[in-house]
Amino acid sequence: MSDLRDMFFEECDDLLEVLSTGLEDLQNETSDAETINAMFRSVHSIKGGAGAFGLDRLIKFAHAFENVLDDLRSDKIGVDATITALMFSGFDHLSDLVDAARDDNDLPDTDGAAVLAELKQTTQNANGGVGGDDDDDANEVSSDDFEVQAMDFSFDLGGDDDGGIGELPGLPALGGGEEAVDGATHFVVKFKADPVLYTRGHDPALLFRALGEMGELSIEADRSEVAPLESLKDAPAAISWTLTLRPDDGIDESTIREIFEFVEGQCTLHISETVLEAAAGEEAAPAADAPAAPVAEAAPAAATAAPAAKAETKPAPAKAPKAEKQEAKSGDGGKKSSEPRNSTIRVDLNRVDRLINLVGELVISEAMLRQSMNELPVSANSAVSEAIGQLKTLSGVLQESVMAIRAQPVRGLFQRMSRIVRESSRQAGKTSRLVMVGEATEVDKTVTERLVEPLTHMIRNSVDHGLEKAEDRVAAGKPEMGTIKLEAAHRSGRVVISLTDDGAGVNRAKVRQKAEEKGLIRPEDDLTDSDIDNLLFRPGFSTADEISQLSGRGVGMDVVRSEIQALGGRINLQSEPGKGTTITISLPLTLAVMEGMLIEVAGESLVVPTVALRETLQPGQANIHDFCDGDRGLSVNDSMLPIVDLGEALGFRAPLPDFSNQSLLLIEGESGRRSALAVDGIVEQREVVIKGLEQNYQSIPGIAAATILGNGKIALIVDTDQMIPSPGNGNPGLRKGSELAEVNSNV
């Protein structure tokens, strides 16, 4: 059941996405009839599933929501701004209810009560003030009610039957009459099928069989109306049956009626109850044969054609005219839509991850094979070398394809953000809209999941700090409504997501002043505009004069940055005074594989992510400068970079006396600061499969993860950001802050 539950909530996410897309279309006036139909179905399906899991609040709310959508699609209500706003609120609350149900949380009763009331009111107004069926309907799907709802049985049973029980003398054919000696209740059921019954998939024999399971049953068929064979048509419909049931314990008239619940209106049915005296059985016995006899005489020709009509306790095999089943592949349903089938399958994420891991191993094995081949005296033109070359290409393509399985469009993520924009605008008393570009861009599922928090925070910031108040916007000649744009695109093997507002831009004077007050920079520091803008990402920085309800939650943009970095991403802010601000996040396509530079330090193999790598150098001693405290710097293009001795920083060995035999890797961190890593040797650039360490070890300072090399050895992946000394960040676990730490790339 828990699997089904998970599946339900997963489906809810998809359904909410459909709903959200529909709402956007409504708002942008790009909707059509199918939009509202699809929205209705989404809410309807949520209600249906919620019913199965007994999620009463969700059922109630979805029901009210669905009613309004139903009124919309039947044009009882027109789409206007008020309705759209209500729909959005409804959507938000529905999402909350789904989330709460998923996490087994209870939302406060007050939550959404207003929306629920408004939805109900809307339906009521649309239906001339009659909203009476409202709660009844909702109750029908409540969890306590697992009753099979019969087709309404209020029709006049036996209405077409002129004769009541009184006109059926002697018909209680008591199974031959031999056993009716206990004075028990018997039911006499008179049944005649209308021809239509046979076209609705019913079969009287099956009804009788069900009846037969309720006790001892005898059946009489009256074939007197069956036409002679030569003009035989609708033979079964011409037969009427009289069934006498001596019921088992607990069987009453209602349970008998239940059997006939689906054939209502398609038959003549009369059920009566008789209590037979002990002695009556014997007396009735001869009478029981009476009606059967004339039947045989009246329609002798039909006897072979019509279903057998033997009186026995099991139903006669009175088969409805069931045609031979035929191959029906023609697909002549007649209602075929030209819509293409979107064929997808849903796969457990664990299976995909296992596949990705296996392919990762395959890539490693392939690399091992290639390495061994290189050590053999085999010509590069040989068949073996060619085959191995092909293997390399194939495993590369295979890896890419497998990665693509995990990819999903950012649409869902973006749509969640549209709610954040609405909510934060409301709270900040501003009006704004969200524009989405490139929602189809695909990103690793984990990445989209982990982007929710940072993006939420960024958007709150944009609405709160970025957008001006309405009057200020108008004064500045901007539209009163602010625009927040979320854009996603693939760019040079990475995913770039940007958030742009058309607000006032970063107030640099204020930022600088604040940063100085907080001691993040010194008054004499020479900072570019971009440097100042990016001070916003520094820990403990907040420009809001008053802590606002929205973004003043003790989390700064520094947290956003570290979350993005944890995903292997970079974040950058560009701002133009008066025009607005753009924050750009650049992310790797997948978290499972990365491009790295294989290096050697103190006999160990290490990998430096290529993302951070700017240059590799074999510097002359002339470019390396010693400082009095033992630190060394590298002069490159008129700037001075700190040199980090990787072997020492990671505790592999004592500091080297000089770097004359070392290679230097110029790395750049997210902050834009750079440093030079001194290493023993550079081996090659390659793709590595990332293996997390934190599951098995604690997080190790200076190390981001590990990988397995072609020769089967483990190589640690260097956390480059921790290898860049910077004034604000320090570098935990590594060398203590030094004078050189003040040097930055702009000096």
Partner 1 sequence: MTTKILAVDDSRTMRAMIQTALTDAGFDVDLAEDGIDGLDKLGDSDPDLVITDINMPRLDGFGMIEGVRERPECASLPILVLTTESGEELKQRARTAGATGWIVKPFDAEKLVAVINRLVV
Q: Which is nearer to partner 1, 341 or 736 (CB)?
A: 341
Helix, strand and coil percent figures for the chain, each rounded to 5: 40, 20, 40
Q: How far is the CB of 329 from partner 1 (least distance, A)?
A: 4
Q: Check binding of 11 to partner 1 (CB under 8 A).
A: yes
Q: How far is the CB of 23 from partner 1 (least distance, A)?
A: 18
Q: How far is the CB of 215 from partner 1 (least distance, A)?
A: 16
User: Which of 110, 149, 637, 698 touches partner 1 (CB under 8 A)?
Assistant: 149
Q: Check binding of 324 to partner 1 (CB under 8 A).
A: yes
Radius of gyration (Cα) for the chain, nearest Å?
39
Q: Which is nearer to partner 1, 348 or 526 (CB)?
A: 348
Q: Check binding of 83 to partner 1 (CB under 8 A).
A: no
The set of residues, in sequence order, having a beta carbon less than 8 Å from that of 515 and lying 6+ positions away, is: 521, 532, 535, 538, 541
Q: Which is nearer to partner 1, 104 or 144 (CB)?
A: 144
> Any idea what the Cα angle at residue 596 is, between residues 594 and 598, rounded to 5°?
145
Q: How far is the CB of 153 from partner 1 (least distance, A)?
A: 11
Stretch that binds partner 1, among 48-56, 175-183, 299-307, 573-581 (CB under 8 A): 48-56
Stretch that binds partner 1, among 6-14, 223-231, 280-288, 307-315 (CB under 8 A): 6-14
Stretch that binds partner 1, among 101-109, 257-265, 442-450, 534-542 (CB under 8 A): 257-265
What residues pair up with 598 in beta bridges, in sequence order? 607, 684
Stretch that binds partner 1, among 99-107, 203-211, 569-577, 587-595 (CB under 8 A): 203-211
User: Which of 185, 253, 262, 730 touches partner 1 (CB under 8 A)?
Assistant: 262
Q: How far, in Å, are 85, 248, 424, 428, 726 from residue 79 at the CA level?
A: 10, 59, 25, 27, 56
DSSP H helical segments within 74-191, as ranges?
Answer: 81-102, 113-126, 133-140
Q: Check binding of 200 to partner 1 (CB under 8 A).
A: yes
User: Which of 17, 44, 456, 516 touches partner 1 (CB under 8 A)?
Assistant: 44
Residues 599-638 contacting partner 1, CB under 8 A:
none
User: Which of 332, 517, 629, 684 touches partner 1 (CB under 8 A)?
Assistant: 332
3-state DSSP assignment of residue 91 = helix
Rounded CA separation 633/741 (Å): 10
The set of residues, in sequence order, having a beta carbon less than 8 Å from that of 572 and lying 6+ positions away, is: 534, 583, 584, 586
Report which secondary-structure segment, H or E, holds 635.
strand 632-636
Q: Check binding of 48 to partner 1 (CB under 8 A).
A: yes
User: Which of 27, 37, 127, 365 touches partner 1 (CB under 8 A)?
Assistant: 37
Q: Check binding of 233 to partner 1 (CB under 8 A).
A: no
Q: Check binding of 555 to partner 1 (CB under 8 A).
A: no
Q: Check binding of 131 to partner 1 (CB under 8 A).
A: no
Q: Where are the beta strands (DSSP E) in 402-493?
A: 407-409, 432-437, 442-444, 482-491
Q: Check binding of 71 to partner 1 (CB under 8 A).
A: no
What residues pair up with 561 in beta bridges, in sequence order? none
Q: Check binding of 331 to partner 1 (CB under 8 A).
A: yes
Stretch that binds partner 1, among 238-246, 321-329, 447-455, 546-554 (CB under 8 A): 321-329
Q: Check binding of 13 to partner 1 (CB under 8 A).
A: no
User: Which of 250, 304, 340, 346 touches partner 1 (CB under 8 A)?
Assistant: 346
Q: How far is the CB of 316 from partner 1 (least distance, A)?
A: 13
In a 13 Å sphere around the CA of 128, the CA atoms on its Cβ side amount to: 0
Q: Check binding of 491 to partner 1 (CB under 8 A).
A: no
Q: Which is nearer to partner 1, 323 or 440 (CB)?
A: 323
Stretch that binds partner 1, among 221-229, 335-343, 376-384, 676-684 (CB under 8 A): 335-343
Site string for partner 1, 165-184 (x = CB under 8 A): --------------------
Stretch that binds partner 1, among 42-50, 112-120, 248-256, 616-624 (CB under 8 A): 42-50
Q: Which is nearer to partner 1, 320 or 410 (CB)?
A: 320
3-state DSSP assignment of residue 485 = strand
Rounded CA separation 560/617 (Å): 33
Rounded CA separation 438/148 (Å): 47
Q: Which is nearer to partner 1, 138 or 171 (CB)?
A: 138
Stretch that binds partner 1, among 327-335, 457-465, 472-480, 602-610 (CB under 8 A): 327-335
Stretch that binds partner 1, among 49-57, 395-403, 539-547, 557-565 (CB under 8 A): 49-57
**Which amino acid, 674?**
R
Kindly determine how many residues on this chain lie close enough to bind partner 1 according to the rule CB under 8 A.
64
Q: How far is the CB of 55 from partner 1 (least distance, A)?
A: 11
Q: Is 216 exposed, middle or buried (0-12, 13-18, 19+ CB in 10 A)?
A: middle
Q: How far is the CB of 202 from partner 1 (least distance, A)?
A: 6
The set of residues, in sequence order, having a beta carbon less than 8 Å from that of 504 and lying 6+ positions away, is: 466, 467, 468, 472, 476, 577, 578, 580
Q: Check binding of 329 to partner 1 (CB under 8 A).
A: yes
Q: Which is nearer to partner 1, 251 or 602 (CB)?
A: 251
- 735 and 743 Cβ atoms separated by less than 8 Å: no
Q: Check binding of 736 to partner 1 (CB under 8 A).
A: no
Q: How far is the CB of 585 from partner 1 (least distance, A)?
A: 33
Rounded CA separation 611/709 (Å): 19
CA–chain centroid gap for 57, Å, is 21
Phi and psi at 523, nearest 5°, equal -55, -30
Q: How far, in Å, are 1, 25, 74, 89, 669 from residue 612 at the CA level?
A: 47, 42, 58, 44, 6
Q: Which is nearer to partner 1, 70 or 533 (CB)?
A: 70
Q: How far is the CB of 343 from partner 1 (least distance, A)?
A: 10
Burial 133-164 (b: 16+ CB within 10 A, else e): ebeeebeebbeeeeeeeeeeeeeebbeebeee
Q: Check binding of 345 to partner 1 (CB under 8 A).
A: no
Rounded CA separation 305/227 (Å): 10
Find the largest Cα–Cα distance for the chain.
Answer: 129
Stretch that binds partner 1, among 143-151, 482-490, 546-554, 629-637 (CB under 8 A): 143-151
Q: Which is nearer to partner 1, 212 or 281 (CB)?
A: 212
3-state DSSP assignment of residue 623 = helix
Q: How far is the CB of 326 from partner 1 (least distance, A)?
A: 5
Q: Which pairing describes strands 663-668 and 674-679: parallel, antiparallel, or unpaired?
A: antiparallel
User: Which of 233, 322, 491, 736 touches partner 1 (CB under 8 A)?
Assistant: 322
Q: Check binding of 207 to partner 1 (CB under 8 A).
A: yes
Cβ count near 257 (within 10 Å): 16
Q: Check binding of 215 to partner 1 (CB under 8 A).
A: no
Cβ count near 75 (within 10 Å): 11
Token reading at 432:
């704004």
Q: Check binding of 61 to partner 1 (CB under 8 A).
A: no
Q: Which pairing describes strands 215-222 and 185-193: parallel, antiparallel, or unpaired?
A: unpaired
Phi and psi at 144, nearest 5°, equal -75, -15
Q: How far is the CB of 41 from partner 1 (least distance, A)?
A: 5
3-state DSSP assignment of residue 155 = coil
Rounded CA separation 505/34 (Å): 41
Give the dihedral sign, CA 328/330/333/336.
positive
Instruction: Point out which residues bind partner 1 (CB under 8 A).
Output: 3-4, 7-8, 11, 37-38, 40-41, 44-45, 47-49, 51-52, 137, 140-141, 143, 145-152, 198-203, 206-207, 209-210, 259, 261-262, 265-266, 320-337, 339, 341, 346
